[in-house]
């Protein structure tokens, strides 16, 4: 009888011990699973933080790009021109209206006569002598500009000599020069390549020429040229 009781107690004990051991093993597995799960979720949090940081960096880059675009906008453009009877000035104003930036009229220290025939002689003499008429116009901040629109009438198949004075006085290396002219019909007369000879380290774009009697109605032609050269 005692033996039977002892055997029963022993069996119960074995069952209890097995139950405890199984319980411990299961609890251990659960803990591991939780740890793996926690690790996974903290990794994904880190990834989210990294993604957030990349997005922030991208936003910052966009803001910096916008700022640069604003800085390299029309503030870097100068329209500089010579005009005796106002035709080239009209075209210069059309360009300035379209591209913004600054505009400067080149004036000579000694003004040219309003007598047309005398002016023809004076201009021809200056060309024959390769003269450099002095300019009263000074541009103190030429280094601020990346693009220079350079306008002039055609005088005797070339630029007025005052333009050569301008090109002598200012170093336009690294800048883009966009030449525009008005004339009685001679067109550009090869003047863009004369400009390129004077400023070998500048980029000279395709030029624009407008006939003097078409100046007033030339705005759309001006705008077409501007978009062709990238404005
Ligand atoms: C001294 C002088 C020389 C000129 N030489 C030429 C020329 O060689 N070819 C031409 O087509 N027009 C010539 N013209 C006409 C001018 O180029 C034209 O009228 C121009 O539009 C004037 O520009 P502005 O009003 O800006 O001064 C000449 C005009 C002057 C006063």
Q: Where are the beta strands (DSSP E) in the chain?
A: 77-81, 102-105, 147-153, 176-183, 203-204, 208-211
Q: For position 5, what pLDDT does the model report?
A: 57
Token duo for residue 88: 């080239």
Task: Name the closest-CA residue to atom 18, ligand 1.
Answer: 183
Mean pLDDT of 152-164: 98
Mean pLDDT of 227-231: 97
Residue 205 CA to ligand 1 center (angstroms) comes to 22
Do 67 and 105 fall into the same domain? no
Do 113 and 210 fall into the same domain? yes
Alpha-carbon dihedral angle through residues 139, 135, 105, 167, given to the nearest 10 degrees: -70
Task: Name the closest-CA residue to atom 10, ligand 1.
Answer: 184
SS3 at position 4: helix
pLDDT tens-place string over residues 21-63: 544 444 444 444 444 444 444 454 555 455 445 444 444 433 3
Do 113 and 205 fall into the same domain? yes
Do 63 and 163 fall into the same domain? no
- Does ligand 1 come within 6 angstroms of the Cβ of 181? no
Q: Which of 190, 118, 112, 121 is nearest to 154 (CA)?
A: 190
Rounded to whole angstroms, the Cα distance separating 108 from 92 reads 18
Torsion angles phi and psi, residue 102, rounded to 5: -110, 160
Residue 175 CA to ligand 1 center (angstroms) comes to 27
Q: For position 56, what pLDDT does the model report?
A: 47
Residue 118 CA to ligand 1 center (angstroms) comes to 13
Instruction: For residue 38, give its domain range.
Output: 1-71
Could you say which of 40, 71, 102 is where a domain stops?
71
Do 61 and 84 fall into the same domain? no
pLDDT tens-place string over residues 66-112: 333 334 446 699 999 999 999 999 999 999 999 999 999 999 999 99
Q: How far is CA 18 from CA 10, 29, 63, 150, in A?
A: 12, 17, 67, 99
């Amino acid at each position: 009888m005692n033996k039977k009781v002892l055997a029963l107690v022993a069996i119960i004990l074995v069952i209890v011990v097995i139950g405890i051991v199984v319980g411990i093993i299961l609890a251990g597995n659960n803990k591991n699973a939780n740890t793996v799960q926690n690790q996974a979720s903290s990794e994904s949090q880190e990834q989210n933080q990294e993604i957030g940081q990349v997005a922030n960096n991208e936003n910052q880059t966009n803001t910096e790009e916008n700022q640069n675009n604003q800085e390299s906008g029309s503030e870097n453009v100068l329209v500089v021109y010579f005009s005796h009877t106002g035709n080239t000035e009209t075209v210069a104003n059309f360009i300035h209206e379209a591209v913004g930036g600054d505009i400067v009229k080149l004036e000579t220290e000694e003004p040219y006569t309003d007598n047309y025939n005398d002016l023809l002689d004076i201009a021809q003499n200056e060309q024959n002598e390769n003269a450099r008429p002095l300019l009263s116009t000074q541009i103190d901040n030429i280094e601020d500009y990346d693009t220079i629109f350079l306008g002039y009438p055609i005088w005797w198949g070339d630029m007025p000599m005052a333009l050569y004075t301008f090109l002598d006085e200012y170093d336009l290396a690294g800048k883009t020069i966009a030449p525009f002219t008005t004339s009685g019909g001679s067109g550009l007369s090869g003047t863009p390549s004369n400009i390129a000879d004077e400023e070998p380290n500048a980029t000279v774009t395709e030029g624009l020429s407008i006939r003097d009697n078409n100046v007033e109605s030339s705005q759309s032609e001006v705008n077409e040229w501007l978009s062709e050269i990238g404005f």
